[in-house]
């Protein structure tokens, strides 16, 4: 019989910081329980640690449109790919900050928009074999009527183009590979699964507050 949940243990033996810059690289030495019983030999793993991120997919249920952003990304560039990445609003969580506050802050800073009805979608690790970074994804209602332009903080090296896309257009960009950022793919797939439900719910709220 494979080990039970109660038998799963990790013995932390040592930790040291190898590098501290834009990201931190820590080295861990540890042992962990094995499926067949007993403990593993000592293993060493390097882990990139840079905090945790929140993503938000701003969706207008009235116009059936999504607010996307485009900006230069170093990862695709060094990999030889087209480096201007089509993404959604995102930001790092500051100490003690509520996730919904990150959503509102980044929606204003990166896209110049307000959001409401902030709805949790899913959470997952960016790459659990190499980094501790965890992503939390939300979908939120917005008004795309005035969305657009260039945004971002110059002091943080941000140069962000806001692009409003219809649901059909963004699904086509997902299908043809124009969108190739993992958390963005997850967010849009969530929207595709839940679009009818949230659109009905948010349109009912819109009608109640603005049309009565």
Distance between CA 160 and CA 156 in Å, rounded?
Answer: 11
CA distances from 60 to 18, 67, 80, 119, 147 (A): 45, 8, 35, 13, 11
Provide the phi-psi class of 127: left if phi over 0, else alpha when psi is between -120 and 50, else beta: beta
- What pLDDT score was predicted for residue 206? 64
Only one residue has tokens 């086509």, namely 172
212 residues of the chain, pLDDT tens digit each: 688 888 899 999 999 999 999 899 999 999 999 998 999 999 999 999 999 999 999 999 999 999 999 999 999 999 999 999 999 999 999 999 999 999 999 999 999 999 999 999 999 999 999 999 999 999 999 999 989 999 988 888 889 999 999 999 999 999 999 999 999 999 999 999 999 999 999 988 766 555 55
Output the pLDDT for position 184: 98
pLDDT at residue number 3: 83
Rounded CA separation 110/91 (Å) = 9
pLDDT at 7: 86
d(CA 180, CA 202): 28
Dig out the tokens for 54 from the structure.
């929140």
pLDDT for position 207: 62
Q: What is the pLDDT of residue 32?
A: 97
Q: Give dist(CA 152, CA 158) in Å, integer.
A: 5
Q: Is 156 a catalytic residue?
A: yes
pLDDT at 48: 96
- Tell me 147's DSSP state: -
Please state, in angstroms and as integers, the Cα–Cα distance from residue 185 to each residue in 17, 52, 81, 91, 176, following that order.
Answer: 33, 18, 18, 17, 12
- Token pair of 184 as six digits: 């963005």
Q: What pLDDT is stored for residue 205 in this prediction?
A: 74
Residue of 156, 158, 169, 197 marked catalytic = 156
């Amino acid at each position: 019989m494979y080990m039970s949940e109660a038998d799963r243990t990790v013995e932390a033996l040592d930790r040291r910081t190898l590098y501290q810059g834009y990201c931190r690289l820590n080295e861990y030495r540890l042992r962990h329980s094995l499926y067949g019983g007993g403990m593993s030999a000592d293993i060493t793993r390097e882990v990139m640690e840079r905090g945790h991120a929140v993503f938000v997919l701003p969706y207008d249920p009235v116009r059936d449109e999504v607010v996307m952003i485009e900006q230069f990304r170093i990862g695709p560039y060094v990999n030889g790919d087209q480096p201007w990445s089509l993404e959604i609003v995102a930001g790092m969580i500051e100490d003690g900050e509520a996730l919904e506050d990150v959503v509102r802050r980044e929606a204003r800073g990166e896209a110049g928009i307000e959001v409401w009805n902030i709805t949790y979608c899913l959470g997952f690790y960016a790459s659990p074999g190499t980094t501790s970074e965890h992503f939390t994804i939300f979908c939120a209602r917005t008004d795309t009527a005035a969305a657009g332009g260039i945004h971002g903080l110059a002091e943080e090296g941000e140069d962000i183009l806001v692009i409003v896309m219809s649901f059909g257009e963004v699904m086509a960009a997902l299908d043809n590979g124009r969108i190739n950022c993992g958390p963005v793919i997850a967010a849009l797939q969530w929207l595709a699964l839940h679009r009818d439900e949230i659109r009905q719910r948010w349109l009912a709220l819109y009608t109640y507050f603005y049309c009565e």
